Amino acid sequence: MILFLIAVAIWVSTGISALVFSRRYAVSSWIGAGGAILGCLLALHSALQAILGNLLQSFQFPWSLPFGSFYLKMDPLSGWFLLPILGLSIMAALFGTEYMAAWRDRPSAGGSWFFFNILIASMSLVVVARDGVLFLLAWEIMSLSSFFLVTFEHQKKFVRDAGWNYLVATHAGTACLLALFVLMAKSTGSFSFDAWLEKGVSPFSSIVLFLLAVVGFGTKAGFVPLHIWLPEAHPAAPSHVSALMSGVMIKTGIYGLVRLLSFSEVPPEWGCWILIGIGASSGILGVLFALAQHDLKRLLAYHSIENIGIISLGLGVGYLGLSIHSPGLAILGFSGGLLHVLNHALFKGLLFMGAGSLLHGTGTLDIEHLGGVIKKMPWTGSTFLIGAAAIAGLPPMNGFISEFLIYLGALKGIGTLHGSPLVFLIIAATSLTLIGGLALACFAKAFGVIFLGSPRSKHGHDAHESGWGMRLPMISLAAGCAAVGLMAPLAFLILRPVLTMVCRIEALAAQEIFTQTSMTLFFVVLTVLGFLGLAGFLWGLRRWLLSGKTIHESVTWDCGYDAPSPRMQYTGSSFAQPLTSLFKSILRTQRKISPPSGFFPIHASFFTSAPDVFVRTIIRPFYHAVRFGFSKMKWFQHGRVNAYILYIGLTLLILLIWNLR
C-alpha cells in the first residue's frame, strides 16, 4: 500500500510541476508523462500483489473533514480494475507526449499534463477508496479533471458544447450517487464500505437504491439512454485522453456498481433481469448507432457503449448465477464481464490511439474522406486491424475470449435451467450474438473504408506515419490484445481470486469449474492456433505460387466506364446501408438528397447523418422541462444583494423558530 501512496504523491507532485513549467512544453511534458509512468509502475506493483498474492492491504488515515475517513484498501477486485487503469495510463502518457506536441506553442498543452496526472490519481483512488465520502470525493475530482481534459481545445465551439454536455451529465450522475450513499449510510449508520458489507446493505436491497445506483454509475459508464455525453466528449477530447476516458474511466462506473452490489449476500432476480436488459439494449443500440457514424471517434464512442453493454450482460449473467445458487453460471458470467473490462481497455485504448494517429497523419477523422491509408501508415493500419479484430470478438484476439466466456455461461445455463432465468439467458446469448455480428460489420466498414482501397481526398494522399512515440504504445497494446487472447487460460486463472471474492465462494468449492473452464479455454486456444497455422500455411503457399510472377496493378472491372475515380468506391455509408436501412425505425437516419436530374446532370448530392435518437426523444425534452421549471424561479435569482442577505437571514430565523416550536 505504501507504494500506492507514493505513486499518488508522485502523480500529484509531477502534475503540479507540469503546471508550473507549462510555458515550456518539452519540460512539462517530460515531467508530466514521466511522473505518470513512474507512478503507474509503482502502483502496478501494489495492484499485482493484490491479485496474484491475494494480499489484502489497507491504509487508514484520520482526517478532519466531517463524515468518513481516508480509508483505502486494496483487494483483488480493486487490483483487477487498477490493472487496466495503470497499464493504459502508461501507454496514453507515452502517446500523449508526441501527440500533444502539435499544440506545443500553447501553455495549456503543458498544463494539460496536470489534469492528466490528477485524472490517473483520482481514478486509482476511486477503485481503492473504502469510504463513501472519500469515494465521492475522488469520483468528483475524476469527473472534473477529465472535463478539463475534454475541453482542451476550448477555442472550438463544439468542444465547449461537448464539455458542457459532459459536465451536466456527470453531475447528474453524481447527484444520484450522493443520494444513494446518503441513503445507504442512513440505514447502516456509517459511510464505511466495511460496515455496508457487514450489514449486507447494497443497492439490491431496494428498487430505489438499485435505480439510483444504475443511473449514477450508468451515467459514467454509458448505459443507454444515459450515454449521451460519450459520442460528444470523445471526439472533442485529445486522442490519448479519449483513449484513457473510454478505455478505463467509464469502467469506474462498472467498478462502483460491482463493488456496491457485492455487499449483498444473495442478489434478487429482478436486479439481474435489469442488468441483462440494460446490457442487451446498450450493446445493441450502441453498435447500431456506431454503424451509422462517419466520424471515426464518434463511431468508437458508440462502440464503448456497446462494450459497456457486453460487460453488463456478463455481470447480469453472473448475478443471476448467484441468485439461483449456481456457482458455475456466476463464475462464467463474472469472468466474462470482468475480463472484458481489461480487454476493452486494451483494444479501445488501441483504437482511439489509432484514431489519434490518423488525425495526426491525415488531418481528418471523417472516414468518407480517407481511404488506402494503410499504404502510407502501415503501423497504424496493422495495429488498428488487430484492435478491430479484437473489438469485433474475432479469435484469436482477447475480445473473443471474454465474449466466449459469457456465451459459455449462458449456454450452460440454458441447458440446465427453466423458467424466467432461462428466458433471460436466452436474451443474453442472442443479443450477444447480434452485437458481435453488427460489430464485425461496423469494423469491416471502418477498417475497409479508411485503410483499404485508394484515397478519396487529399487527406488520404498526404498521409504520413506517426513517430515512434505514438507507434510504440499502439504496438504494445496490440501485443496485449493478442497475448490475452492466446494465453486465455492463464488470464482466466489470474482472474480467479477476483472471482472467488465477487462470488463469495471458497476457492476449493469451485475447483472443478475452474479446471473445467480453463481446459475448455485451452482447447479453444489450441484450435485457434491450428487455424492460425493453416492461415499461415495458405499465405506461404500463395507466396510460393506467386513467386517469380510479376504482379501489376490495374483498375477493377468498371462496367465499361472509361474514367473510374476513387470517388466511385464504396463509401462508409453505402457499405453500412443494408444494415442501417434494416434498423431504420430505430436509427432514424436523416438523409439530404438532391438527386441528379435531366440528361446531363451537373449537381447531385447525398448526405446522411444519424443524430442520437435518445437525445431528441428523451434527454432534450427532459432538460427543456427542467429549464422551464427553473426559469420560473428566475424572479428569485435577480442579483440584488440585499435580498440575498434577506433570504439567508429569513432561513436562519425560520429554522430557529422551527426548532423552538
Partner 1 sequence: MTTWLDGLLILMVLTGFLLLGSSRLAESIRMVAMQGLALGFLPILLHSDEIGIRLILLSLGSMALKGLLFPRLLLRAAREARIKREIEPFVGFTMSLLTGIAIIWISFWLSSRLPLTESIRSTLIVPGALFMTLTGFFLIVSRKIAISQVLGYLVMENGVFVFGVAMAKDQPWLIELGVLLDVFVAVFVMGITIFHINREFDHIDSDRLANLKDSDS
Q: Does 467 bind partner 1 (CB under 8 A)?
A: no
Which of 551, 555, 593, 660 contacts partner 1 by CB under 8 A?
660
Contact positions with partner 1 (CB under 8 A) in 247-306: none
At its nearest, how many Å lie between partner 1 and the CB of residue 656? 7
Q: Which residue has the cell 426559469?
A: 631
CA 80 to CA 67: how far, in whole Å? 28
Show the DSSP H helices in 249-326 as ranges. 251-261, 269-291, 296-323
CA 136 to CA 256: how far, in whole Å? 11
Which of 2, 529, 653, 655 contacts partner 1 by CB under 8 A?
653
Pick the closer one to partner 1 by CB: 529 or 643. Answer: 643
Q: Please state the separation of Cα 528 from the chain's center in Å.
A: 27
Contact positions with partner 1 (CB under 8 A) in 630-649: 639-643, 645-646, 649
At its nearest, how many Å lie between partner 1 and the CB of residue 631? 11
Pick the closer one to partner 1 by CB: 555 or 657. Answer: 657
Pick the closer one to partner 1 by CB: 548 or 629. Answer: 629
Pick the closer one to partner 1 by CB: 102 or 656. Answer: 656
Instruction: Give the H/E segment covering residue 659.
Output: helix 641-660
At its nearest, how many Å lie between partner 1 and the CB of residue 642? 5
At its nearest, how many Å lie between partner 1 and the CB of residue 643? 7
Q: What are 351's three cell numbers?
A: 483504437
Hey, is 266 helix, strand or coil? coil
In our burial notation (b when 16+ CB lie closer than 10 A, e otherwise), range 493-521 reads ebbbbbbbbbbebeeeebeebbeebbebb
Which of 528, 503, 519, 87 minimizes the C-alpha distance to 314?
Answer: 503
At its nearest, how many Å lie between partner 1 and the CB of residue 497? 56
End-to-end CA gap in the chain: 52
Q: What is the DSSP letter of 571?
A: P
Pick the closer one to partner 1 by CB: 544 or 635. Answer: 635
Pick the closer one to partner 1 by CB: 539 or 644. Answer: 644
Q: Which residues pair with 591 in a beta bridge?
A: 608
CA 218 to CA 205: how far, in whole Å? 18
Cβ–Cβ under 8 Å, residues 305 and 349: no
* 581 to 620: interface string for partner 1, x by CB under 8 A: ----------------------------------------
Pick the closer one to partner 1 by CB: 508 or 660. Answer: 660
Pick the closer one to partner 1 by CB: 556 or 631. Answer: 631
Q: Please state the separation of Cα 577 from the chain's center in Å.
A: 26
Pick the closer one to partner 1 by CB: 531 or 630. Answer: 630
CA 422 to CA 432: how far, in whole Å? 15
CA 44 to CA 39: how far, in whole Å? 8
Pick the closer one to partner 1 by CB: 26 or 656. Answer: 656
At its nearest, how many Å lie between partner 1 and the CB of residue 237? 27
Cβ–Cβ under 8 Å, residues 72 and 58: yes
As to burial, measured by CB atoms within 10 angstroms (0-12 exposed, 13-18 middle, 19+ buried), residue 628 is exposed
What is the Cβ-side half-sphere exposure of residue 25, based on CA atoms within 13 angstroms?
14
Q: What angle do CA 335, 85, 302 make, to 5 degrees?
A: 75
Candidates 62-70, 111-119, 375-383, 650-658; binding stretch for partner 1 (CB under 8 A): 650-658
Hey, is 175 helix, strand or coil? helix
Pick the closer one to partner 1 by CB: 546 or 646. Answer: 646
At its nearest, how many Å lie between partner 1 and the CB of residue 295? 30
Which of 545, 563, 602, 657 contacts partner 1 by CB under 8 A?
657
At its nearest, how many Å lie between partner 1 and the CB of residue 638? 8
Neighbours of 641 (CB within 10 A): 7
Pick the closer one to partner 1 by CB: 596 or 649. Answer: 649
CA 405 to CA 397: how far, in whole Å? 13
At its nearest, how many Å lie between partner 1 and the CB of residue 646? 4
57-61 and 70-74: which strand pairing? antiparallel
Candidates 129-137, 178-186, 273-281, 653-661; binding stretch for partner 1 (CB under 8 A): 653-661
At its nearest, how many Å lie between partner 1 and the CB of residue 136? 31
Contact positions with partner 1 (CB under 8 A) in 309-368: none
At its nearest, how many Å lie between partner 1 and the CB of residue 627? 14
At its nearest, how many Å lie between partner 1 and the CB of residue 648? 10
At its nearest, how many Å lie between partner 1 and the CB of residue 633? 14
- One-letter amino acid at 85 equals I
Neighbours of 522 (CB within 10 A): 14
List phi, psi (to 5°) of 71.
-115, 115
* 86 to 125: interface string for partner 1, x by CB under 8 A: ----------------------------------------
Which of 302, 319, 518 minimizes the C-alpha distance to 404?
Answer: 518
At its nearest, how many Å lie between partner 1 and the CB of residue 126? 35
Q: What are 31's three cell numbers?
A: 515531467
At its nearest, how many Å lie between partner 1 and the CB of residue 634? 8
Neighbours of 555 (CB within 10 A): 8
Pick the closer one to partner 1 by CB: 551 or 657. Answer: 657
Q: Among positive and negative, which fits the CA dihedral 580, 585, 586, 591?
A: positive
Pick the closer one to partner 1 by CB: 552 or 661. Answer: 661
Instruction: Give the H/E segment covering residue 591.
Output: strand 590-594
At its nearest, how many Å lie between partner 1 and the CB of residue 640? 6
- One-letter amino acid at 446 equals A
605-609 and 590-594: which strand pairing? antiparallel
List phi, psi (to 5°) of 591.
-115, 140
**What is the DSSP annotation of 473-495?**
HHHHHHHHHHHHHHTHHHHHHHT
Cβ–Cβ under 8 Å, residues 421 and 465: no
Interface with partner 1 (CB under 8 A), residue total: 13
Pick the closer one to partner 1 by CB: 549 or 661. Answer: 661
Pick the closer one to partner 1 by CB: 560 or 639. Answer: 639
Candidates 276-284, 515-523, 583-591, 652-660; binding stretch for partner 1 (CB under 8 A): 652-660
Pick the closer one to partner 1 by CB: 2 or 653. Answer: 653
At its nearest, how many Å lie between partner 1 and the CB of residue 647? 10
Residues that bind partner 1 (CB under 8 A): 639-643, 645-646, 649, 653, 656-657, 660-661
